């Protein structure tokens, strides 16, 4: 079969007759500014299949020109991971500019400001750890949080809608989010391969720079789809790739912000299960999370708090709406099983919604250009309440226990 003139990078397969190299790049990295855009060598139609003089640099028409053309394609495929990483980071920063200037991000900041009222118990917990309200500069953040420029080359200042613009929150309204000590991201996907994942990673950068200024360490991420180029880029952005698949079942001991973009309900349910119930000596203290739970349930306060706390109140989860998970399960539970398997019931999510133990604030995408990047998202918090205390103390759970598998 005659060669059609191009091969898609990273072994995606050959194109149909008449396809151009531009189409190959678009399929590899859809959208403008993808990491492969600047990488391709010239393969113009100037190479003639018939007799006649060859273009400069290609040799004589016939076998010599074809061999040079093949060498050009091999050079395109054999670009080093470091070279691809440079292009990928440029594409991520371009995505960041799109996100930061979007109505979606302005709305998300307002939702975060609104949710600040549910974080009082976490500020006390962070103060017990010695980290509350810290002005210390963390990787990718600013000491003042809002009104200075972002990292070099990212243009993240107040002019982008964080401060001063009508309807946008003030710095003080987002200050309570400095109590978050960790940020964990599951299910991001490969930014090297996916335009949507680049937008989602751009959001991680913005949250780190604008809101989560008290992080005690680098943002931690896990997805089995990460390749060598993704890992290099994440390291250069000051983030840490987890080597162990936790299946979502991470038990936390300090305020932690989780970002789960479009993860399966079972994985999110495993996260709740790992933090289901009081944990540690701080649960008795009136100034810590467990003490707040005890007071919400009407119990007498116990001894003085220590650092640490208990489960769900330490979590903030940005991901798919819990109510959507519940509605999806109700629809699936009555349908015939697929491939002989029934979907896993997200029992803890359903229980938290049914008993009013979770605060859910929708974060609409407002027609963001990549529809599947931020659709059906919501912010979830578990402030101490009588409903939460009753749920955690209640016996019997309708869902499956243990960790959920991480989808590839």
Q: Are 368 and 203 in contact (CB under 8 A)?
A: no
CA 348 to chain centre: 22
Torsion (CA) 170, 174, 176, 181 in degrees, nearest 10? -150
Q: Which two tokens stand for residue 407?
A: 């989808």
Please name the residue that has the structure tokens 């994942």: 197
d(CA 99, CA 203): 7
Q: Are 162 and 144 in contact (CB under 8 A)?
A: no
Domain ranges of the chain: 9-30+40-78, 82-393
- Strand 315-320 versus strand 377-381 pairing type: antiparallel
Query: What does each of the 408 residues of the chain score in pLDDT, given as a tens digit?
Result: 444 432 333 333 334 444 444 444 444 454 544 555 444 444 444 444 444 554 444 444 444 555 555 555 555 457 899 999 999 999 999 999 999 999 999 999 999 999 999 998 887 665 555 554 433 333 334 333 333 333 333 333 333 334 444 456 777 889 999 999 999 999 999 999 999 999 999 999 999 999 999 999 999 999 999 999 999 999 999 999 999 999 999 999 999 999 999 999 999 999 999 999 764 333 433 344 555 555 554 544 433 333 334 689 999 999 999 999 999 888 877 666 666 677 788 999 999 999 999 999 999 999 999 999 999 999 999 999 999 999 988 744 443 444 444 443
Beta strand segments in 291-341, E: 315-320
Residue 15 DSSP symbol:
P
């Amino acid at each position: 079969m005659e060669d059609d003139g191009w091969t898609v990078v990273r072994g995606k397969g050959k194109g149909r007759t008449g396809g151009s190299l531009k189409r190959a790049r678009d399929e590899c990295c859809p959208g403008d500014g993808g990491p492969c855009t600047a990488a391709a060598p010239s393969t113009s139609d100037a190479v003639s299949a018939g007799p006649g003089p060859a273009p400069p640099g290609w040799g004589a028409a016939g076998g010599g020109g074809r061999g040079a053309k093949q060498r050009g394609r091999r050079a395109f495929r054999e670009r080093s991971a470091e070279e691809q990483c440079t292009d990928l980071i440029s594409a991520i920063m371009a995505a960041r500019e799109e996100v930061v200037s979007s109505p979606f991000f302005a709305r998300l900041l307002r939702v975060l400001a609104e949710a600040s009222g549910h974080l009082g118990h976490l500020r006390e917990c962070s103060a017990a750890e010695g980290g509350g309200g810290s002005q210390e500069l963390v990787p990718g953040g600013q000491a003042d949080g809002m009104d200075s420029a972002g990292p070099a080359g990212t243009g993240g200042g107040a002019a982008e809608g964080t401060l001063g613009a009508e309807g946008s929150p003030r710095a003080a309204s987002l200050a309570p989010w400095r109590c978050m000590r960790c940020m964990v991201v599951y299910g991001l996907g490969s930014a090297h391969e996916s335009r949507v994942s680049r937008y989602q990673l751009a959001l991680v950068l913005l949250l780190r720079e604008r809101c989560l200024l008290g992080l005690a360490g680098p943002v931690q991420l896990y997805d089995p789809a990460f390749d060598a180029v993704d890992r290099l880029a994440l390291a250069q952005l000051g983030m840490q790739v987890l080597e162990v698949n936790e299946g979502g079942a991470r038990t936390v001991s300090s305020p932690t912000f989780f970002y789960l973009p479009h993860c399966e309900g079972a994985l999110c349910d495993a996260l709740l299960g790992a933090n289901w119930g009081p944990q540690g000596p701080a649960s008795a203290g009136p100034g810590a999370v467990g003490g707040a739970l005890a007071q919400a349930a009407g119990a007498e306060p116990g001894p003085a708090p220590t650092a640490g706390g208990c489960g769900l109140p330490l979590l903030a989860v940005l991901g798919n709406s819990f109510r959507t998970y519940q509605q999806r399960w109700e629809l699936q539970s009555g349908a015939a099983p697929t491939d002989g398997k029934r979907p896993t019931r997200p029992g803890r999510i359903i229980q938290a919604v049914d008993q009013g133990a979770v605060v859910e604030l929708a974060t609409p995408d407002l027609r963001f250009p990549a529809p599947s990047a931020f659709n059906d998202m919501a912010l979830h918090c578990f402030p101490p309440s009588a409903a939460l205390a009753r749920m955690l103390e209640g016996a019997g759970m309708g869902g499956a226990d243990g960790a959920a598998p991480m989808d590839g």
